């Protein structure tokens, strides 16, 4: 059981994947909130990544389970056939949500 999903954070050097075991249905909204928190650092990749990860995993702070970080996507995503259903593109400054066979793209300014 669970509500599993992944977010991919794209940078100019590669991607970081954030896995949530219980928060998959809320991941798109959590990603929007994380992007807003990182607004002052959108062009400072190390800080932006840290803020995004901090926000996306805040429900699991100090817990052993619930979230994971990967350099290669190797987890379940119930919303996009085990591929990341949320993509935060720091290069293109856009958020892509892939759910139920549909793709919705928003610029960071729109979230």
Angle at 73 between CA 93 and CA 107, to 5 degrees: 15
Query: What residues pair up with 106 in beta bridges, in sequence order?
Result: 95
Tens of pLDDT, residue by residue over 32-83, are 999 999 999 999 999 999 999 999 999 999 999 999 999 999 999 999 999 9
pLDDT of residue 82: 95
Write the burial class of residue 19 (CB in 10 Å: 0-12 exposed, 13-18 middle, 19+ buried). buried
pLDDT of residue 1: 75
Domain of 58, in residue numbers: 5-110
Number of domains, the chain: 1
For 22-90, give the secondary structure using H, E and C: CCHHHHHHHHHHHHHHCHHHCCCHHHHHHHHHHHHCHHHCCCCCCEEEECCCCCCCCCCCCCCCEEEEC
The mean pLDDT value for 1-16 works out to 96
Residues counted in the chain: 111
């Amino acid at each position: 059981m669970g509500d599993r999903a992944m977010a991919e954070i794209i940078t100019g050097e590669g991607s970081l994947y954030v896995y949530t075991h219980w928060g998959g249905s809320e991941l798109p909204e959590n990603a929007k909130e994380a992007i807003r928190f990182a607004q002052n650092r959108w062009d400072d990749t190390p800080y932006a990544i840290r803020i995004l990860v901090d926000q996306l995993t805040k429900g699991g702070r100090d817990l052993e389970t619930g979230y994971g970080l990967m350099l290669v996507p190797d987890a379940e995503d119930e919303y996009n056939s085990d591929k990341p259903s949320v993509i935060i593109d720091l290069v293109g400054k856009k958020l892509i949500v892939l759910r139920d066979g549909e793709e919705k793209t928003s610029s960071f300014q729109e979230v």
